[in-house]
């Protein structure tokens, strides 16, 4: 069967899956990619994501082509309270000033909090030789250099099958990222890869919440055109008959599209803009209710359907 090349995948989404995966599985992220740092953190203590604070420190980050960046406050395994700030960057493309940007992030965070800052980078591009890990300058005995830890995702490519056997969520996530890159503009191949990953997830003896979250991550990575999503849905229904679990990911979008279209039609029939807008909101609320019925929290459902969570809590 010939590989489908159109439509292509011009909007492969790397930002959302990485952002959600790091937030849900931060300890597994550190254990998988940076085991020395993982071993020094006190995981019995609470850690804090400081996204708003990071944006305030580095507002120009909004226009960068990075995949995602995170600032996390953690407590270390020492005899007394010792806080450290971890700056994480997932960089999707080769960029000439990347190391300099890591340097600037580091000193701005230190200047803001007056606490130690550790910098870590995931290089998610396809350029095997691009491995920046330091930036600095020196003159006449004066020296300032930042060295930061890096992981190159393409190094994992020869061992994708092994990644899929690991219990750590980032084995699967790393494989999904690499397979997304490998199957760009190859929709039939991507369809088969996506189905394989979904089958593997259903076979895992993980709790339902973890499986559903990782299904969403896989779905964000391996984007398919609508007709292949429908074909995949039919395959998934057969698996669900045995597993007794709902697959609610890319099909959320189909339901939302239908809800939006219905709302727009209602608005047109009523003949005024307010009616159109009301219909769209009602369609989104209905999608969110269906997500909640399939195990999503009100906050998750509201985020996916793009409605205020208060509308779901009061309905």
**pLDDT computed for residue 294 by the predictor:** 65
pLDDT band per the 50, 70, 90 thresholds, residue 292: confident
Q: Which of 82-86, 151-155, 176-180, 266-270 has the lowest mean pLDDT?
A: 266-270
pLDDT of res. 267: 44
Query: Are 267 and 260 within 8 A, CB to CB?
Result: no
- CA neighbours within 13 Å on the CB side: how many for 53? 16
| In the predicted structure, residue 271 carries a pLDDT above the cut 50 | no
Q: Which residue has the higher pLDDT, 69 or 80?
A: 69
**Which has more pLDDT, 241 or 6?**
241
| % of residues, the chain, pLDDT over 70 | 76
Q: What is the pLDDT of residue 86?
A: 95
pTM, entire model: 0.76
Give tens-digit pLDDT for 97-135.
Answer: 999 999 999 999 999 999 999 999 999 999 999 999 999
CA distance linking residue 122 with residue 235, whole number of Å: 34
Most confident of 21-25, 59-63, 281-285: 21-25
Q: Which of 89, 166, 181 has its CA nearest to residue 128?
A: 181
Cα–Cα distance, 147 to 157 (Å, whole number):
25
Mean pLDDT of 265-271: 46
Is 301's pLDDT higher than 90?
A: no
Q: Is the pLDDT of residue 276 over 70?
A: no
pLDDT of residue 308: 77
Greater confidence (26 vs 263) lies with 26
Mean pLDDT of the chain, nearest integer: 82
Comparing CA positions, the residue from 174, 170, 190 lying closest to residue 182 is 190
Q: What is the gyration radius of the CA atoms in the chain, in angstroms?
A: 22
Residue 310: what pLDDT?
Answer: 75
Closest listed residue to residue 306, CA positions, set 263, 246, 273, 245? 263
| Distance separating alpha carbons of residues 7 and 171, to the nearest angstrom | 29
pLDDT surpassing 60 at residue 262: no
Place of tokens 């993980």: 206
| Percent of residues, the chain, with pLDDT higher than 90 | 49
pLDDT at 285: 79
Q: pLDDT category, 247, cuts 50, 70, 90? A: low
For residues 114 and 30, what is the distance between their CA atoms, to the nearest angstrom?
A: 23
pLDDT band at 256 (very low <50, low <70, confident <90, very high): very low
Q: Which residue has the tokens 């190159």?
A: 152
User: CB 95: neighbour CB atoms within 10 A?
Assistant: 16
């Amino acid at each position: 069967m010939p590989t489908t090349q159109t439509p292509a995948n011009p909007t492969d989404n790397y930002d959302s899956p990485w952002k959600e995966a790091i937030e849900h599985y931060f300890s597994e992220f550190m254990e998988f990619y940076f085991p020395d740092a993982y071993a020094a953190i006190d995981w019995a203590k609470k850690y804090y994501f400081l996204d708003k604070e990071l944006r305030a420190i580095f507002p120009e980050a909004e226009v960068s082509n990075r995949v995602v960046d995170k600032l996390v406050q953690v407590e270390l395994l020492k005899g007394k309270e010792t806080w450290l700030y971890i700056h994480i960057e997932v960089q999707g493309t080769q960029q000439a000033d990347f190391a300099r940007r890591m340097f600037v992030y580091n000193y701005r965070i230190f200047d803001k909090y007056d606490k130690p800052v550790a910098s870590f980078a995931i290089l998610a591009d396809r350029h095997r030789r691009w491995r920046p890990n330091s930036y600095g300058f020196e003159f006449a005995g004066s020296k300032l250099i930042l060295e930061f830890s890096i992981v190159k995702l393409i190094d994992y490519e020869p061992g994708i099958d092994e990644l899929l056997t690991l219990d750590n969520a980032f084995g699967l996530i790393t494989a999904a990222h690499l397979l997304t890159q490998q199957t760009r503009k190859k929709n039939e191949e991507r369809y088969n890869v996506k189905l394989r990953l979904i089958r593997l997830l259903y076979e895992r003896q993980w709790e339902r919440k973890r499986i559903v979250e990782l299904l969403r991550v896989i779905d964000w990575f391996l984007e398919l055109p609508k007709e292949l999503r429908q074909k995949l849905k039919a395959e998934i229904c057969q698996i669900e008959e045995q597993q007794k679990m709902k697959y609610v990911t890319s099909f959320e979008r189909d339901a939302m599209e239908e809800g939006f279209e219905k709302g727009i039609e209602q608005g047109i029939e009523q003949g005024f803009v307010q009616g159109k807008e009301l219909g769209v909101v009602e369609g989104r609320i209905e999608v969110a209710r269906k997500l909640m019925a399939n195990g999503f929290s009100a906050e998750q459902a509201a985020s996916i359907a793009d409605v205020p969570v208060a509308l779901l809590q009061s309905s």
